[in-house]
Structure 1
Amino acid sequence: MRTPDPSFWAGKRVLLTGHTGFKGSWAAIWLHRLGAQVTGLALAPDQAPSLFDLASVDHLVASRIVDLRDQAAVDASLAEPFDIVLHLAAQPIVRTAIEDPVSTFATNLMGLAHLLQGLRRQDSLQAILVVTSDKVYANADQGRAFCEADALGGKDPYSASKAAAEIVAASFARSYFNNAGVPLATARGGNVIGGGDFSRDRLVADIVRAAAGGEAVALRHPEATRPWQHVLDCLAGYLVYAEALALRADTPRALNFGPAPGGPEVSVGELASLAVEALGAKPWRHEPDPHSIEAKTLAVDASAARRVLGFESRLDAPGAVALTMEWYRRQGAGEDALRLCEAQIAAYEGGR
């Protein structure tokens, strides 16, 4: 299974949006390890603690606190040239989007449009990768895995914003970047878990908080299935994809990333049970939300990434949970967050 190539990334000028978030912090740490020169663009962390602060990510990258909803601020941050752009910045929480849809659309749509508009002035770009979501598909709860050719849709504001972001990216590609010879693609990632996620309304973060307080985490939809993926598998896929976009003109412009094809579906309740057992926490409890419109089933077919890139996820759900909870246990016991991330990245690169 392929992992990111240090010889590609060494010295690359990388613009990474969302570097203050959970996935963005892991990406910044990994890119720094690979030798890239990383500039981060994002809002300040919106929770405490945050992996960005715990791991002192601002010491690893040129960190710029910028609101992507502000075109002038974005333009001012893109004065120097970049080789690769990884756009991870987003409002990523489904329930937050339901509570504040307008802000979510402003961030996930106009933030992307502002970034792409600013990047049109760049003449050194080798590839732009926009990360969207596994929730971009029109999901009628039929229980089948979605492939890249399936129709886009979204019955909640978060899903709709990400499906619309796919259309925005494609429109900029066809109108501007294709003519400039710059590949612009989207990566549709699964439900990501890993150490250092402290966000509200995220399953693992909620479990860790409940365990720390001696409480049982409440699950709204324990029967729901999701394409669970460890953050290292997810990011490895993104980085390998960006390499292919920069090096091979025939690389597809949209790919799914999720569990290895053929693996079993894992429900929210099953994943939560693995997590609370690993932490020695109280069993989860069911707290139904009768007004929820979240999909009951969600799966993505990641076979195209395996076929085109030679990449597939290495960790199954139990392995992803075990690695995640190891991070939280060791960090909670006083180990350094950055060293923990670097050690897990090194082990992943080494095939362990």
Structure 2
Amino acid sequence: MFANAYQGRRVFVTGHTGFKGSWLAAWLTRLGATVGGFSDGIPTEPSHFAAMNLGAHLEDMRGDIRDRRAMLDAVRRFKPEVVFHLAAQALVRKSYEDPAGTFEANMLGTMNVLEAVRACPSVRAVVMITSDKCYRNDEWVWGYRETDHLGGADPYSASKGCAEIIAHSYFQSFFREGPACATVRAGNVIGGGDWALDRIVPDCARAWAEGRAVQIRSPWATRPWQLVLEPLSGYLWLGARLLDSNGTDGATTGLPFDPRGQAYNFGPAADVNNTVAEVVQALARHWPGFEHQTDAAGQAGMKECTLLKLCCDKALAHLGWKATLNFDETIRYTAEWYHRFYRGRDDRTPPDMLDFSLGQIAAYTNAAEQRGQVWVR
């Protein structure tokens, strides 16, 4: 996979204890990388990181991304070749409760990672993960392109737009000669192991595991839902291409483009766009008999977009990347993970969620290979 780019490499992942970060770190260990993770703690209980006992399989470092000295010391000590930056305050509703903390984590944290990279000559490639919400959302029906306006009405979205601007400033000012860096944007990622507050899938999993009806705030909000492994495959493939981009135009390795300093969207096919209500109904087919209720009061005074999708043509044109799974498959992978976790809890035999998660990665990779995805060839 990924042109064998990660075998034997030292890879540094910020936010490795979070939902996406733990899946990425687990996948990197399976690819033969030596992984170092940097996080200020385990963000939820339960957590995917803890369920997999992932700390036993990587170098687990603790620190706050807002602490520049801690970040610099960790990167210098680990001496990574590749950096994936995911650590962030990632919730829209929490950004209303703590706007200052959100801007500090997402803006200053981004800057601190880039400062650490600038001081560490071992780094060859950097993938900075932001969000689909970095775009100024005008509620239009077509997908946002990488050249569209950045910004946001809520503090979270605005902070992610700022993170993009900071990253590209560093690319242009300091990294023209290396390391090779890019930003990536994806959103509405679902999958097993997410227990963040105010997200529809973990809300369903928690409520239905306890026999409660789940509360839905925005049933008609439309999103391009994708399994967590979809954008991660894009991030890993982009990282491999960045490692290959030695010349200013990619000519030294035959690449028809230069990925350095670029931004890329990763999302499902353009026709995959489902409402929150459809997600809940699809999940409920795997949890027969459970119910949901609309909670309009839960979003009072908080603006959240009702329509948001990305155009991923650039990722296809530059990287040959496209999504693998359809909506029903995405729901099935997600439901099966939670069923395995909660069934093990009910049986009082802790399930081995690392093996199960790696099994889902293997199944996803097999589906990608059968469907001719470029990163598996």
Q: Structure 2 matches for 1:72-91, cutoff 5 A?
A: 72-80=69-77, 81-91=79-89
Structure 2 contact 225–272 (Cα < 8 Å) conserved: no
Structure 1 contact 276–284 (Cα < 8 Å) conserved: no
Report the counterpart of residue 119 of structure 2 in structure 1: 121
TM-score with structure 1 length normalisation? 0.95
Question: 1: distance between equivalents of 2:141 and 2:292?
Answer: 25
Q: Which deviations, in whole Å up to 9, do the C-alpha atoms of 1:202-248 show, x marking residues without a partner?
A: 11100001101211111111111112110111111110011112213
* Match 1:306 to one of 316, 324, 336: 316
Deviation at 1:109, TM superposition (A): 0.7
Question: Does residue 170 of structure 1 match 2:144?
Answer: no
Deviation at 1:281, TM superposition (A): 4.7
Question: Does residue 232 of structure 1 match 2:258?
Answer: no
Question: 2: distance between equivalents of 1:4 and 1:235?
Answer: 12
* Match 1:278 to one of 255, 275, 286: 286
Q: Report the number of matched residues.
A: 347
Structure 2 contact 65–105 (Cα < 8 Å) conserved: yes
Report the counterpart of residue 101 of structure 1 in structure 2: 99
Question: 2: distance between equivalents of 1:76 and 1:142?
Answer: 44
Question: Does residue 182 of structure 1 match 2:179?
Answer: yes
* Match 1:257 to one of 266, 270, 273: 266
Provide the alpha-carbon RMSD of the alignment. Answer: 1.3
Question: Does residue 26 of structure 1 match 2:23?
Answer: yes
| AA aligned opposite 2:301 | H
Report the counterpart of residue 324 of structure 1 in structure 2: 334
Query: Gapped runs of 5+ residues in structure 2?
Result: 251-257, 345-350, 369-377
Question: 2: distance between equivalents of 1:96 and 1:140?
Answer: 22
Structure 1 contact 211–281 (Cα < 8 Å) conserved: no
Question: Does residue 293 of structure 1 match 2:291?
Answer: no
Q: Which deviations, in whole Å up to 9, do the C-alpha atoms of 1:33-60 show, x marking residues without a partner?
A: 0001111011111221111111011111
Deviation at 1:291, TM superposition (A): 2.2
For the structure 1 residues 142 and 37, does the alpha-carbon distance in structure 2 shift closer, same or farther, using more than 3 Å as the test?
A: same
Structure 1 runs (4+) deviating above 6 angstroms are: none
**Secondary structure of 1:187's aligned partner:** strand
Question: 2: distance between equivalents of 1:132 and 1:50?
Answer: 21
Deviation at 1:135, TM superposition (A): 0.6
Question: Does residue 61 of structure 1 match 2:58?
Answer: yes
Question: Does residue 11 of structure 1 match 2:11?
Answer: no
* Match 2:359 to one of 335, 340, 343: 343
Structure 1 contact 55–337 (Cα < 8 Å) conserved: yes
| AA aligned opposite 1:123 | P
Structure 2 contact 272–326 (Cα < 8 Å) conserved: no
Q: Which moved more, 1:287-296 or 1:102-111?
A: 287-296
Deviation at 1:305, TM superposition (A): 1.0
| AA aligned opposite 1:257 | F
TM-score with structure 2 length normalisation? 0.89
Structure 2 contact 136–149 (Cα < 8 Å) conserved: yes
Structure 1 contact 214–281 (Cα < 8 Å) conserved: no
Task: Work out the percentage of aligned pairs sharing the same amino acid.
Answer: 40
* Match 2:219 to one of 222, 247, 271: 222
**Secondary structure of 1:278's aligned partner:** coil
For the structure 1 residues 264 and 229, does the alpha-carbon distance in structure 2 shift closer, same or farther, using more than 3 Å as the test?
A: closer
Question: 2: distance between equivalents of 1:49 and 1:63?
Answer: 18
Question: 1: distance between equivalents of 2:30 and 2:139?
Answer: 41
Q: Which deviations, in whole Å up to 9, do the C-alpha atoms of 1:120-151 show, x marking residues without a partner?
A: 11112221110000111111112221011111
Deviation at 1:182, TM superposition (A): 1.7
**Secondary structure of 1:350's aligned partner:** helix
